[in-house]
Amino acid sequence: MAVCIAVIAKENYPLYIRSVPTQGELKFHYTVHTSLDVVEEKISGVGKALADQRELYLGLLYPTEDYKVYGYVTNSKVKFVIVVDSSNTSLRDNEIRSMFRKLHNSFTDVMCNPFYNPGDPIQSKTDLMKWQPLNGL
């Protein structure tokens, strides 16, 4: 189960951040923001070598004391970050991968919404919230 999911725009401002322990929101904001550096490093590293076979899933960005931060970048350079509790050892890489895929699908749905203005923070309660990785898969 993720403790925090975040969607970051191409220009690196947050489109959507939600975390389960709401009192630690600020901490997650910092964590996610800092992880962007790693994301960017990974993108630039991948960009040269494997331009064609693009793997959207970036894998574990970095572990902190309490959490593991995973990253995912869409082709339009929108970043997804999922923070998982370190103590949760049952989560495999594949599960994280599928979480990202679901998140990506939800995000695509949001973008398809004609009333959504691309670049705005995602406010809708129904779009991304429909899929609640925070409440368990």
Partner 1 sequence: MAQCVQSVQEFIQDSFVPMVAVLCSEDAERVTRKNNLSFPELLRPFCRLTSEGHLRDPNNQVVVVKGLRISVTGINTRPPQSPELHRLLSRTVSVCQPPEGSPANVFTAGDYDLNISDRTVKASVPWYSDWKETLTQLSSSKYYTATTPWFETYRENFLQSMPASEHEFLNHYLACMLVVSSCEAVPTEQFLKLSQEQHRIQHSGEYTHPKWFIPNTLKYYVLLHDISEGDEQRADSVYEDMKQRYGTQGCYLLKINSRSGSTGADEQMPDPWSQYLHKTSIHNPVSATTSLQTHPLQLDHLTDAGYPGNDASQSVNNVDEMRPQKQASGTSHTSPTPRGTCLTLNDHDHIRQFIQEFTFRGLLPHIEKNIRQLNDQLVSRKGLSRSLFSATKKLFGGGKVPEKSIAELKNTAGLLYPSEAPELQIRKMADLCFLVQHYELAYNCYHTAKKDFLSDQAMLYAAGALEMAAVAAFLQSGAPRPYPAHYMDTAIQTYREVCKNMLLAERCCILSAEILKSQAKYSDAATLLIKMTSEDSDLRSALLLEQAAHCFINMRTPMVRKFAFHMILAGHRFSKAGQKRHALRCYCQALQVYKGKGWTLAEDHINFTIGRQSFTLRQPENAVAAFRHILINDSKQSAIQQAAFLREYLYVYKSMSQLAGDGSLPQLPLPCLHSSQTRVFFGHERRLAEGEKQAATHVSLEQEFDRDLSQLWRELEEQVVSVANRGTVPITFQPSQCCLNSQTDNLRHPLAIVEEPIIVEVVFRNPLKVPLALSALCLLWKFTLKDFSGPEDGTTRETFDLNPFQTTALNDIIDTQVIPEFTISPEETKVARLRLLPHKTGELHVLGVVYNLGTGEVGDSEGMWLVCVAGSLAEDLMCVRGQQNLEIQGPRLNMTKEEKTSVRYGPDHRLDPIITPPMPLLEVFFINFPTGLLCGEIRKAWVEFVNVSAVPLTGLRVASTHPEFFTFGSATSDLTPVTPTAAEHCSAYKTVAMPPSVATMSLVSPAVFGVTSGDQPVVAEIPLSRGVLGPGEALQIPLWLRGPDREGVHEINFLFYYESTEKTAKLSHRVLRHTAFICASRSLSVRATASRSNTLHSRERDTEEQQEAEEKNASMLVFVDVENINTSEAGVREFHIVQVSSSSRQWRLHKCINPVGDKDSKLTSRERGKLCFKATRCRTEEGGIVSCTTPCADFFFRRGLQMQRKSHTPQSGTDDDWTSIVKKCSEVELDIIVLWKAYVVEDNKQLILEGQLHVALQTIGKESCSLSQKEETQEMVLLKFKPDVPPPLSKPSMEQLSHLIKTCLHYPESYDHPFPQKSLCMVPVTLTLSNCSLAQVDVIVDLRHKTTSPESLEVHGSFSWLGQTQYKLQLQAQEVYRLFLKACFFQAGVYNLGTPRVFAKLAQTSAMCETSQQSAMPALIIVNSI
State the residues that interact with partner 1 by CB under 8 A.
Answer: 9, 11-14, 24-27, 29-30, 33-34, 36-38, 40-41, 44, 121
CA distance 62 to 20: 20
- Cβ closer to partner 1: 34 or 105? 34
Contact (CB, 8 A) for 125 and 106: no
CA distance 107 to 61: 21
DSSP assignment letter at 134: G
- Cβ closer to partner 1: 30 or 95? 30
In whole angstroms, how close is the CB of 16 to partner 1 at the nearest point? Answer: 11
> How many Å is the Cα radius of gyration of the chain?
14
CA distance 92 to 50: 24
- Cβ closer to partner 1: 52 or 65? 65
What is the length of the chain?
137
Amino acid at 114: P
In whole angstroms, how close is the CB of 58 to partner 1 at the nearest point? Answer: 15
Q: Please report how many Cα atoms fall inside a 13 Å half-sphere around the Cα of residue 99, on the Cβ side.
A: 28
In whole angstroms, how close is the CB of 122 to partner 1 at the nearest point? Answer: 12
- Cβ closer to partner 1: 29 or 97? 29
- Cβ closer to partner 1: 14 or 101? 14
In whole angstroms, how close is the CB of 87 to partner 1 at the nearest point? Answer: 20
In whole angstroms, how close is the CB of 79 to partner 1 at the nearest point? Answer: 12
